[in-house]
Amino acid sequence: EEFRERLRQKQLSAPRKPAATHPLWPQIEKLTMEQLGYAQQGVEGGVWQLFAEEGEMKMYRRELEEDGLVVDPLKAVHQVRGATAHEMVHHFWSPDVRFEWDTSIEQMTVLDRISSDTIIFLQLHKRVWPTAQRDALFWSHVRKIPSSHPANGEAYDTWIVCNQSTDHPDDPKDEKCVRVDLTVCFVCQTFIDPPIQEGKEITRDNLLTKITYCSVVNPGGWAPASVLRAVYKREYPKFLKRFTQYVVEKCESQPIAF
Ligand code: 18C
């Protein structure tokens, strides 16, 4: 409690610096653009295997082990109607609503606010029997990628959230927990589909958002491969379905935010 209060005071008094002056900035910039390119690559070519499909949602994985630990990269694509890319990424990034959709979390702390678009999170995840509980410390960055030719069938806009493990001096380091190492990206593009007729106003029925979610999570310590792959197979589809439904329902009665 005392730790949390000290942290709160520190956050309140800390000036909001522009992210570009922060020492992490070059890494944030580089990884975000790399992840955008990675997300936009197709899943053809035989390396990705489909492991879950429901409606428009398709999830692929690649079996990969590092030092005997399962780190299977995941790539998921989905399409939803009724919300914009901006609305999707806002809810994915914002600490204010995280508990409303991410059921893998037990605790979440904002360790640092680097700027209005970049936050450092510490998250304690639910324990999975028979392994040690996991936590994650990562920066999370959100940005808009402007579209050059939206009229030519290109997306109206593209937004990305990129999450990457990092260190922080305020890390309270819980020795009972195993720290995972993660790289996650969440990319959304809005399409106006069906197109609006002349003189008509855009409604939520004209919004189609294409989503790509990629992640690589290294468990950081012992976890039986069978348990890990079972959790993976169950939790990822559950997350993406629940999250997108949550955002669509939440935005339904709100003015459209591009
Ligand atoms: O991307 C998601 N959420 C973001 C905001 O929270 C953020 C978080 C990523 C967390 C990655 C997973 C961390 C470890 C999880 C431990 C297991 C919890 C399972 C809970 C079951 C009740 O980017 C959405 C994340 C959706 C999470 C799906 C679970 C992924 C499991 C992947 C394997 C993790 C290996 C370590 C666990 C070892 C236990 C067998």
Please give the average per-residue pLDDT across 39-66, as a whole number. Answer: 96
CB neighbour list of residue 48: distance below 8 Å, 6 or more residues apart = 60, 61, 62, 75
165 lines ligand 1 (CB under 6 A): no
What local confidence, expressed as pLDDT, does residue 12 receive?
Answer: 58
pLDDT tens per residue across span 144-184:
998 777 667 788 899 999 999 999 999 999 999 999 999 99
**19 pLDDT higher than 90:** no
Question: The tokens of 157 are what?
Answer: 């806009």
- Identify the CA nearest to 192 among candidates 109, 129, 256, 120: 256
Distance 192 CA to ligand 1 centre (A): 32
pLDDT tens per residue across span 84-124:
999 999 999 999 999 999 999 999 999 999 999 999 999 99
**15 pLDDT higher than 60:** no
Integer Cα distance of 36 and 33 in angstroms: 5
Distance 105 CA to ligand 1 centre (A): 8
CB neighbour list of residue 236: distance below 8 Å, 6 or more residues apart = 52, 59, 74, 76, 215
**52 pLDDT higher than 70:** yes
Mean pLDDT score across all residues of the chain: 93
Do 104 and 124 meet the contact criterion of CB atoms below 8 Å apart?
no
**14 pLDDT higher than 60:** no
Distance 86 CA to ligand 1 centre (A): 23
| Closest C-alpha residue for ligand 1 atom 20 | 104
Longest dimension (CA), the chain: 62
Distance 122 CA to ligand 1 centre (A): 13
ipTM: 0.97
Residues counted in the chain: 258
What local confidence, expressed as pLDDT, does residue 102 receive?
Answer: 98
Q: For residue 213, give the ligand 1 atom closest to its CA.
A: 1
119 lines ligand 1 (CB under 6 A): no
DSSP line for the chain: -HHHHHHHHHHHHS----GGGSTTHHHHHHHHHHHHHHHHS-STTTT-EEEEEETTEEEEE---EETTEE---EEEEEEEESS-HHHHHHHHH-GGGHHHH-TTEEEEEEEEEEETTEEEEEEEEPP-TTS--EEEEEEEEEEEE--S-GGGT--SEEEEEEEEE---TT----TTSEEPEEEEEEEEEEEE-SPPPTTPPP-GGGEEEEEEEEEEEE--S---HHHHHHHHHHHHHHHHHHHHHHHHHHHTTSPP--
What local confidence, expressed as pLDDT, does residue 60 receive?
Answer: 98
Which pTM does this prediction carry? 0.93
236 lines ligand 1 (CB under 6 A): yes
**192 pLDDT higher than 70:** yes
Question: Which of the two residues, 7 and 233, has the higher pLDDT score?
Answer: 233
What local confidence, expressed as pLDDT, does residue 2 receive?
Answer: 67
What local confidence, expressed as pLDDT, does residue 17 receive?
Answer: 62
Domains and CATH numbers, the chain: 2-251 (3.30.530.20)
Phi, psi of 235 (to 5 degrees): -80, -35
Integer Cα distance of 125 and 111 in angstroms: 16
What local confidence, expressed as pLDDT, does residue 171 receive?
Answer: 97
